[in-house]
């Protein structure tokens, strides 16, 4: 495994996720968030917690890139990344987003928007990780000649 490329892929995907998340949450999903305001933190409280979220998002991207590298099968990096990201998006949705809908007073439209967003973003980040990650070069040992 090429740990340098895992780290590079994680950091680049994390950097891309910051403006993507900003646009999605502040513009595309603004109406959905407003309709569910009772279930959400006030903006000032949310803002103070963002650094905590960003740190754990970065840690999540390291895990994401590491899992991609462990499962890399040698095909097209972007193609494998798209498939991996799609699977990760469904994993996030099944283990997290659906349960947020079950546990917290959010609307079905917000749950649906979060599911679609999670799958789409994970697929995008999978493609990024796949484009950046390259396995370490294998050392081929030649038999000793006498």
Asked whether 119 and 93 are in contact (CB, 8 A), the reply is yes
Distance, first Cα to last Cα, the chain: 33
The residues of the chain scoring below 50 in pLDDT are: none
> How far apart, in whole angstroms, are the C-alpha atoms of residue 13 and residue 64?
10
Q: Name the residue ranges covered by the structural domains of the chain.
A: 3-132
pTM of this structure: 0.91
Supply φ then ψ for residue 140, to 5 degrees.
-100, 120
Asked whether 135 and 69 are in contact (CB, 8 A), the reply is yes
In sequence order, which ranges of the chain are alpha helices (DSSP H)? 3-23, 30-35, 43-71, 77-92, 98-103, 108-132
Residue tagged 């998002």 (tokens): 57
* 3-state SS class at 79: helix
Can you give the pLDDT at residue 139?
65
Can you give the pLDDT at residue 81?
98
Can you give the pLDDT at residue 67?
98
Can you give the pLDDT at residue 145?
74
Asked whether 39 and 106 are in contact (CB, 8 A), the reply is yes
């Amino acid at each position: 495994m090429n740990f340098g490329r895992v780290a590079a892929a994680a950091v680049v995907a994390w950097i891309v996720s910051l403006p993507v998340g900003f646009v999605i949450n502040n513009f595309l999903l603004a109406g959905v968030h407003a309709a569910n305001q009772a279930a959400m933190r006030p903006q000032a409280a949310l803002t103070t917690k963002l650094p905590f979220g960003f740190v754990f998002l970065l840690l999540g991207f390291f895990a994401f890139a590491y899992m991609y590298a462990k499962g890399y099968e040698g095909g097209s990096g972007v193609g494998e990344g798209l498939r991996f990201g799609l699977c990760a998006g469904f994993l996030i949705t099944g283990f997290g987003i659906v349960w947020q809908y079950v546990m917290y007073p959010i609307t079905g439209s917000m749950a649906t928007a979060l599911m679609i967003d999670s799958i789409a973003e994970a697929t995008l980040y999978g493609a990024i990780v796949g484009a950046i990650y390259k396995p370490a070069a294998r050392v081929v040992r030649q038999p000793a000649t006498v």
